[in-house]
Amino acid sequence: MTIHTAPAVRSAVAHLRDTVCALHAELTRYELVVWTAGNVSARVPGEELMVIKPSGLPYHELTPAAMVVTDLHGRLVDGDRTPSSDTAAHAYVYRHLPDVGGIVHSHSTYATAWSARREPIPCVLTMVADEFGGDIPVGPFALIGDDSIGRGIVETLRGSRSRAVLMGGHGPFTIGRDARDAVKAAVMLEDVARTVHVAHQLGRPPRLEQEHIDSLFHRYQNVYGQQGEPTS
């Protein structure tokens, strides 16, 4: 199928195909996925469209042209490959969380281990407070293939400051202002999941005080970094 629309939209889609393809290399670079698991998607700004990885294609075979475009109900709009099996979940999130511009799903080892335990990652580190604004929550178990996972993500993250959710018995999903921001959250999630796991082997680390969590989150989101540039 082919997009029949304005040149500006075609240009935006072409740019996002390049971006989404490149960001999948970050998943392998940071060892967040194995084989063909995991995916990155990006919302096409101002359109009811998204760009996402095709289903079951090895990472070394991914190219911008291989990325597929669907509408926000998961229907193929442009591309000659079957979209990711998580497409319906991504589409549901985009429909219900309009500020989300990018989504990542990985099976990173430590974050997925917390998902298997159905246990939130407690906010015991400044990095957890900075990036996620508190405990990283657990979402419900849901089968793959329809929008059930998306519903669980939205129900868990709506009203939360966290940009990550540990879907029970499955693995982590992260959201962001754009796809790069969501990938950053996935990388940071695995890092804190590993560190907090190690800390738990030594004892029970205390959760940060809520007032400190709030202060840290505000600083990181609004002050940290170069003025006018995103923290990612």
Burial grade of 218 (CB within 10 A; 0-12, 13-18, 19 or more)? middle
Choice among 73, 80, 200, 224 that is catalytic: 224
Using CA atoms, how far apart are residues 10 and 30, in angstroms rounded to an integer? Answer: 31
**Six token digits for residue 4:** 């029949």
pLDDT tens column, 25-66: 999 999 999 999 999 999 999 999 999 999 999 999 999 999
- Residue 224 has a pLDDT of 82
Q: Report whether 107 contacts 81 (CB < 8 A).
A: no
Is 130 known to be catalytic?
yes
Token pair in block for residue 213:
């969590």
Q: What is the distance, to the nearest Å, from the Cα of residue 191 to the centroid of all Cα atoms in its chain?
A: 15
Considering the candidates 107, 197, 214, 218, report the single residue annotated as catalytic: 107
Question: pLDDT value at position 103?
Answer: 99
| Residue that has been written with the tokens 């060892």 in this structure | 31
DSSP codes, 180-213: HHHHHHHHHHHHHHHHHHHHHHHS-PPPPPHHHH
pLDDT higher than 80, residue 195: yes
Can 170 be counted among the known catalytic residues?
yes
Identify whether the C-beta of residue 39 lies closer than 8 Å to the C-beta of residue 15.
Answer: no
Catalytic residue among 78, 86, 130, 191: 130
CA distances from 108 to 22, 129, 155, 189 (A): 19, 20, 22, 9
- pTM score of the predicted model: 0.95
d(CA 145, CA 24): 21
Asked whether the predicted pLDDT for residue 116 surpasses 60, the reply is: yes
**Residue 230 reports pLDDT greater than 70:** no
Q: Which two tokens stand for residue 55?
A: 């289903």
Would you state the pLDDT for residue 205? 98
Question: Per DSSP, which regions of the chain are E strands?
Answer: 39-43, 49-52, 68-71, 76-78, 102-105, 138-139, 164-167, 171-176
CA nearest neighbour of 104 among 145, 48, 163, 161:
163
pLDDT at 228 over 80: no
What is the distance between the alpha carbons of residues 126 and 108, in angstroms, rounded to a whole number? 21
Confidence (pLDDT) at 232 = 54
> Tens digit of pLDDT for each residue in 149-181?
999 999 999 989 999 999 999 999 999 999 999
Catalytic residue among 94, 135, 170, 191: 170
Rounded to an integer, the average pLDDT of 97-102 is 98
Which residue in 78, 105, 135, 181 is the catalytic one? 105
The whole-number pLDDT of residue 225 equals 73
The answer to whether the beta carbons of residues 32 and 106 sit under 8 Å apart is yes
| Number of C-beta neighbours around residue 210 at 10 A | 11
Residue 30 annotated in active site: no
Q: Known catalytic residue: 224?
A: yes
Quote the CA–CA distance of 231 and 216 in Å, as a whole number: 13
- At residue 188, the pLDDT reads 98
Annotated catalytic residue 107: yes
Give pLDDT, residue 3. Answer: 66
Closest CA to 24 of 187, 217, 183: 183
